[in-house]
């Protein structure tokens, strides 16, 4: 059965948004995670939590910088509760139609890691809606722009969107910083399904593995995890080196096509061309995408 996101705005749990903030003097990797935590009750309403983490190097641990509380309604709307004001605001409407103007949407404006974000209400226009299908994954994207502010063609077509099942392309709230060109989306993921990947051919199809790691454990375990597969690089023979029990591994070739599914301790890619492959490994602690380099002697 193909995977398909529903008309629900935000996911129920286990989702991840990855992006890079290219602004200012720092390069910041941004990682937003909705884990399978218990629901949070605020003023009698039930919310899910989305935590945002930053790191300034690929080799340092992530630091949590904020937490958002979100909920979805049956009509496709998503809401965010801001604790500072103890008020709820509209964040997205994945059931809006082409040409609709959605009034008073809460927008986040973030000028980099050295400053606190600000928020404002803005009308949002739905430009187009596209249903994309790839590798059995089907998603519906509503491409949007802020009323009175037209972004550049590439930003508008590829990065400014609401998506059913994932909410905003930039996390709990849409981040206007994407319009400046200093904010690059990398990957969106729901559970073990990749629903957006920046590093693939246009039009940024779903169903292609990417490095938006998601493990249903604490952030310390996620950032300090030991290598799961070795040797890497390899001529094609790989072993699982993790102490966790491997339930399943799915291997994708450089074009994102699934070529192997296994739960054995070893697997063999010597019959495939050299290149960069991806293994999505599911253990008793969750799932993780691992890059594999296949070379030749």
* Residue whose C-alpha is closest to residue 222's, from 14, 48, 12, 67: 14
Neighbouring residues of 284: CB distance < 8 A, sequence distance ≥ 6: 244, 245, 247
How many Cβ atoms sit within 10 Å of the Cβ of residue 91?
A: 26
79-125 pLDDT, tens per residue?
Answer: 999 887 888 999 999 999 999 999 999 998 765 545 567 889 999 99
**Element of type H or E holding 219:** helix 219-223
Average pLDDT estimate for 241-256: 81
- Hey, how many other C-beta atoms are within 10 angstroms of the C-beta on 106? 20
pLDDT class of 246 with cuts at 50, 70, 90 = confident
Max mean pLDDT range (13-17, 33-37, 281-285)? 13-17
Q: Of 98-112, 119-133, 195-209, 250-264, which one has max mean pLDDT?
A: 119-133
| pLDDT score for 111 | 57
| pLDDT at residue number 19 | 83
State the pLDDT at residue 223.
Answer: 40
pLDDT of 221 reads 40
Tell me which residue of 286, 289, 257 sits closest to 272, measured CA to CA: 257
Tell me which fold the domain 226-294 belongs to.
Answer: Immunoglobulin-like (2.60.40)
Place 142 in a pLDDT band, splitting at 50, 70 and 90. Answer: very high
Can you give the residue ranges of every domain in the chain?
A: 3-197, 226-294
Residues 6+ apart with CB under 8 A from 261: 248, 249, 250, 251
* Tokens linked to 167: 């909410």
Flag whether pLDDT at 4 surpasses 70: no
| Best CA proximity match to 33, nearest among 226, 187, 174 | 187
pLDDT at 150: 67
């Amino acid at each position: 059965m193909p995977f398909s996101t529903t008309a629900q705005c935000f996911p129920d749990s286990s989702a991840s948004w990855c992006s890079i903030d290219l602004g200012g003097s720092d390069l910041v990797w941004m990682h937003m995670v909705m884990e399978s935590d218990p629901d949070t009750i605020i003023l009698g309403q039930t919310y899910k939590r989305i935590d945002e983490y930053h790191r300034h190097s690929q080799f340092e641990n992530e630091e949590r910088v904020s937490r958002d509380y979100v909920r979805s309604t049956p009509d496709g709307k998503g809401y965010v509760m801001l604790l500072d004001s103890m008020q709820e605001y509209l964040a997205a409407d994945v059931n809006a139609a082409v040409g609709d103007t959605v009034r008073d949407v809460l927008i986040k404006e973030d000028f980099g890691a050295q400053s606190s974000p600000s928020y404002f209400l803005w009308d949002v226009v739905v430009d187009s809606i596209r249903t994309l299908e790839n590798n059995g994954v089907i998603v519906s994207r509503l491409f949007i722009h802020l009323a009175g502010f037209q972004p550049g063609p590439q930003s508008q077509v590829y990065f400014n969107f609401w998506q059913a099942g994932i909410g905003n392309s930039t996390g709990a709230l849409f981040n206007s910083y994407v319009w400046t060109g200093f904010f690059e989306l990398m990957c969106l993921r729901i559970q073990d399904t990749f629903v957006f990947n920046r590093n693939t051919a246009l039009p940024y199809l779903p169903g292609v593995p990417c490095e938006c790691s998601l493990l249903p454990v604490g952030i310390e375990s996620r950032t300090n995890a030991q290598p799961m597969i070795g040797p890497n690089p390899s001529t094609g023979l790989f072993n699982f080196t993790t102490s966790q029990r491997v339930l399943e591994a799915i291997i994708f070739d450089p074009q994102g096509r699934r070529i192997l599914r296994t739960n054995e301790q070893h697997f063999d890619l010597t019959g495939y061309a050299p290149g960069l492959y991806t293994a999505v490994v599911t253990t008793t602690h969750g799932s993780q995408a691992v890059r594999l380099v296949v070379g030749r002697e």
